[in-house]
């Protein structure tokens, strides 16, 4: 590898945060890929979010999805985002028949909350309508033990692939040995996180399909965390006892090429959400039904809205703020999954603003333009 393959973030990233510089880890990023002239994040629509809400999209008792309504939601969202009159032309704005498209789903909350199969199926249908070959579409996640429990296959066109980087935890063969972030957080023996090999070597475009969820370490898990932690190996090491380095690690991972340049569309699945004890959905008490889907190319702007959504819901439920970092409420163990006034880590919702300072999107609410569509 030549010197151009290494980007020393240790000197450039923390410096943007003044007094935070000494407390942030020192990262070394290795990549053989140059950034695109116009990277996919924040993409062509920085600071712009389309929010489509449909009361009939999901039944709150059975959690059954109205597939026809989901199709209508996705058509409306994509047309509004791109300004095109026809859905097929909206998708052609971002994708061409030559593309190989990865769809990053989120299955960590299986079976209670995942990227909805009907949503993923509709995305793949639109891609094929736009000319992308079915065999060049791949739904991916880190762990097959989670992915195989979600019936994506029945919603995908014949020939589309489903891929996981690891069976459970610990596999390395499906990661690129030359594209990684190296950092030592807590003295761990393995200090590298490698990018998925298929992302580096085959995908030309990526669609990020996160859920709207609370997260015990990062505060929320939306676009940024789904694409970052879901595309690299060995990321859970950023949490240790009650401390976490998600503040800077999420944005640093999302910045790595070619992940940043190739992630061209964010579709946040908010048909269901989790307002506490995420990223899992063990306790249905903390699940709720937002009945919306967000569209954009700017992951920071979308996650900024997610922060407010989760915070407002927690406040309505009488739970402590997602911004509360007091050790008074940090009690590691199973209590977090039962009591919304217990944290298992010192939360880091500031990771969204941190990512904005890396150039990944717009955090300032006054500069975020939200278009709301009611169906």
Nearest in space to 95 (alpha carbons), one of 119, 46, 131, 140? 131
Three-class secondary structure of residue 238 per DSSP: helix
Q: What is the pLDDT of residue 19?
A: 40
Q: CA 266, CA 289: separation in Å to the nearest integer? A: 20
**Per-chain mean pLDDT for the chain:** 93
Q: What is the pLDDT of residue 372?
A: 98
Q: What is the pLDDT of residue 2?
A: 41
Q: What is the pLDDT of residue 269?
A: 98
Q: What is the pLDDT of residue 190?
A: 94
Q: Does 17 have pLDDT greater than 60?
A: no
Average pLDDT over residues 194-205: 97
- What domain range includes position 56? 46-175+195-374
Provide the pairing of β-strand 205-208 with 101-104.
Answer: parallel
Confidence of residue 11 (pLDDT cuts 50, 70, 90): very low
| Number of domains into which the chain is organized | 1
- Report which secondary-structure segment, H or E, holds 244: strand 243-244
Q: Does 93 have pLDDT greater than 80?
A: yes
Question: How many CB atoms sit inside 10 A of residue 321's CB?
Answer: 15
Per cent of the chain over pLDDT 70 is: 94
Confidence of residue 21 (pLDDT cuts 50, 70, 90): very low
Whether 359 maps to a domain, the answer reads yes
Average pLDDT over residues 129-138: 98
Q: What is the pLDDT of residue 62?
A: 96
Q: CA 100, CA 133: separation in Å to the nearest integer? A: 8
Q: CA 212, CA 78: separation in Å to the nearest integer? A: 19
Q: What is the pLDDT of residues 140-179, one digit of tens each?
A: 999 999 999 999 999 999 999 999 999 877 788 999 999 9
Average pLDDT over residues 50-67: 97
Residue 312 makes CB contacts below 8 A (sequence gap 6+) with none
Q: What is the pLDDT of residues 287-329, one digit of tens each?
A: 999 999 999 999 999 999 999 999 999 999 999 999 999 999 9
Q: What is the pLDDT of residue 24?
A: 82
Whether 5 maps to a domain, the answer reads no
Q: CA 53, CA 63: separation in Å to the nearest integer? A: 16
Q: What is the pLDDT of residue 169?
A: 78
Angle value at C-alpha 231, between 230 and 235, nearest 5 degrees: 65
Q: Does 229 have pLDDT greater than 70?
A: yes
Q: Does 239 have pLDDT greater than 80?
A: yes
Q: What is the pLDDT of residue 218?
A: 96
Whether 10 maps to a domain, the answer reads no
Residues pairing with 371 in the sheet: 50
Residues pairing with 207 in the sheet: 103, 265
> Based on C-alpha coordinates, what's the Rg of the chain?
19
Average pLDDT over residues 230-239: 96
Q: Does 4 have pLDDT greater than 90?
A: no
Q: CA 221, CA 215: separation in Å to the nearest integer? A: 6
Q: Is the torsion defined by CA of 283, 152, 257, 200 positive or negative? A: positive
| Residue 218 belongs to domain with CATH number | 3.40.50
Q: CA 331, CA 326: separation in Å to the nearest integer? A: 11
Whether 328 maps to a domain, the answer reads yes
Q: What is the pLDDT of residue 171?
A: 82
Whether 301 maps to a domain, the answer reads yes
Whether 242 maps to a domain, the answer reads yes
Sheet with 6-7, side-by-side order of all strands: 6-7, 28-30, 175-182, 192-196
Residue with tokens 């299955």: 107
Whether 22 maps to a domain, the answer reads no
Query: CA of 247: how far to CAs of 23, 237, 279, 359, in Å?
Result: 11, 13, 16, 15
Token pair for 309: 């959504």
Whether 39 maps to a domain, the answer reads no
Q: What is the pLDDT of residue 18?
A: 41
Nearest in space to 233 (alpha carbons), one of 265, 199, 209, 201? 199
Confidence of residue 82 (pLDDT cuts 50, 70, 90): very high
Q: What is the pLDDT of residue 78?
A: 98
Return the DSSP state at 201: H
Residue 337 makes CB contacts below 8 A (sequence gap 6+) with 277, 280, 282, 283
Q: What is the pLDDT of residue 9?
A: 41
Q: Does 6 have pLDDT greater than 90?
A: no
């Amino acid at each position: 590898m030549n010197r151009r393959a290494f980007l020393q973030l240790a000197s450039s990233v923390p410096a943007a945060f003044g007094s935070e510089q000494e407390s942030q880890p020192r990262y070394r990023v290795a990549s053989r890929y140059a950034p695109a002239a116009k990277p996919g994040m924040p993409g062509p629509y920085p600071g712009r979010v389309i929010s489509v809400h449909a009361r009939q999209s999901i039944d709150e008792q059975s959690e059954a999805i109205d597939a026809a309504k989901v199709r209508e939601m996705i058509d409306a969202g994509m047309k509004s985002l791109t300004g095109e009159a026809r859905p097929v032309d909206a998708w052609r704005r971002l994708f061409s028949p030559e593309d190989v498209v990865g769809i990053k789903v989120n299955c960590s909350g299986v079976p209670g909350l995942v990227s909805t199969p009907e949503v993923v199926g509709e995305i793949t249908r639109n891609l094929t309508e736009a000319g992308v070959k079915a065999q060049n579409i791949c739904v991916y996640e880190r762990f097959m033990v989670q992915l195989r429990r979600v019936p994506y296959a029945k919603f995908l066109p014949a020939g589309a692939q489903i891929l996981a980087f690891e069976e459970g935890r610990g596999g390395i063969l499906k990661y690129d040995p030359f594209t990684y972030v190296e950092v030592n957080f807590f003295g761990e023996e393995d200090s590298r996180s490698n990018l998925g090999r298929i992302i580096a070597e085959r995908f030309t475009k990526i669609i990020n399909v996160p859920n709207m969820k609370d997260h015990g370490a990062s505060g929320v898990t939306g676009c940024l965390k789904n694409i970052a932690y879901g595309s690299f190996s060995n990321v859970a090491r950023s949490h240790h006892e009650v401390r976490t380095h998600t503040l800077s690690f999420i944005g640093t991972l999302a910045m790595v090429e070619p992940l940043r340049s190739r992630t061209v569309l964010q579709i946040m699945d908010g048909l269901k959400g989790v307002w506490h004890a995420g990223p899992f959905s063990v306790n249905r008490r903390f699940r709720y039904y937002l009945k919306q889907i967000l569209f954009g190319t700017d992951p920071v702007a979308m996650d900024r809205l997610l922060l407010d959504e989760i915070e407002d819901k927690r406040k309505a439920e009488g739970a402590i703020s997602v911004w509360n970092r007091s050790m008074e409420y940090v009690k590691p163990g199973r209590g977090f999954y039962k009591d919304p006034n217990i944290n298992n880590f010192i939360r880091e919702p500031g990771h969204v603003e941190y990512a904005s300072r890396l150039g990944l999107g717009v955090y300032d609410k006054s500069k975020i333009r939200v278009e709301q569509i009611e169906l």
